[in-house]
Structure 1
């Protein structure tokens, strides 16, 4: 079990990441801004930090610089953003960030990034400068700027080529509850495949809040990894 700090100004993202990481057996603290993140960092020791870039008071890159300057960057930090550029990712890396995740963050990408970050945390106290990976399921983690271009391009091609899986007819000679669960599982698998595994887009398509969606998929036994095209 690891101690993880999640810093993001969006309540839905904080709740979703917390639920997923708690289910993986980790202890998770939450902060909605840089002020709360500073206080948490001073009062606790963390094995990993997930840090959003765009926040209203102090942005994540500035907070990362602050921690580095104060000698508090003793744990791997994974930066998160839905609007950051390559330059922002590279700047974060130079400051000391371990890796960078693009939003929307799919389950498989999150778990892979966390696993790699915790492995780095175990191997050494602080991340090596100049090492970054835009984590993509099924892709090797390559250090530096070239990996960012490579993985972003691969992600775009995969999303464009991914198509919905076809589901055959259902066995209607079953109790209503079983038949309904079978339909719902096929329904969500269809949308996950069509949206390339993006939980955010599936939530928008199905009209469910992401935390509710994640719980529903677990309940139905949907294999999220199988629906992510790497």
Structure 2
């Protein structure tokens, strides 16, 4: 798992890249302009930066120059643009950018560039979280309850999942019971598919964007559901 900073003034691009990279198991931080990116870099060194060239306040190449001049360009940076010229891409590379992606970005090109960028980076590994175990089911168990199958594992990839029973009370409002059931249902499939949103979408019959929003709405911790 790596921390990736996405810097782009277009909300749609930020959300799309966040969804894709989160699905790959990364922690994604978002910045809508150069100032947000500056502030984040002063607080933390990301493992990789995806940096848009054309932004309203300060363009990406100027920000790249700032980081280089301040000795803050200690992480791999991949530039992105739908309008940049070859000269701009070459300039960014000379300053220290690792790669350049042309918008609209093809999924496979994005994933390959990110993989290469992370392999190239020399930043320290991201600290693991205190607990990597998947949640054991929605709300706390209540005596009078309906049993739901939930996968519980130790977070080791390839390990056979163990089915446990999560309990949902019949004495709570229908809406709360429905949310609890859906939370347990999705956690079950996330654990079974090792956190792959693509496979979970296929299993549950939901479009991936709808599935992602549903999980956010239910408060499902995607990070803890990853098998990696």
Cα deviation 1:99-135 (Å, max 9, x = unaligned): 000000111111000000000014x89xxxxxxxxxx
Larger helix proportion of the pair:
1
Task: State whether structure 2 residue 100 is matched by structure 1 residue 106.
Answer: no
Cα RMSD after superposing both structures: 2.1
Task: State the number of aligned residues.
Answer: 131
CA distance in 2, matches of 1:53, 1:30: 15
Aligned-pair CA distance for 1:213: 7.2
CA distance in 2, matches of 1:53, 1:5: 14
Which residue of the partner structure matches residue 96 of structure 2? 96
Aligned-pair CA distance for 1:45: 1.6
Which residue of the partner structure matches residue 209 of structure 2? 215
Matches within 5 A, 1:1-230: 1-122=1-122, 215=209
Aligned-pair CA distance for 1:77: 0.2
Where in structure 2 are there 5+ consecutive unaligned residues?
125-205, 213-228
CA distance in 1, matches of 2:211, 2:15: 16
CA distance in 1, matches of 2:63, 2:210: 35
The normalised TM-score by structure 2 is 0.54
Query: SS state of the match for residue 73, structure 1?
Result: coil
Q: Which segments of structure 1 move beyond 3 Å, counting only runs of 4 or more?
A: 212-218
- Structure with bigger gyration radius: 2
Where in structure 1 are there 5+ consecutive unaligned residues?
126-211, 219-230
Larger strand proportion of the pair:
2
Give the 3 Å change call, closer, same or farther, for CA 41–217 of structure 1 in structure 2.
same
Aligned-pair CA distance for 1:44: 1.1
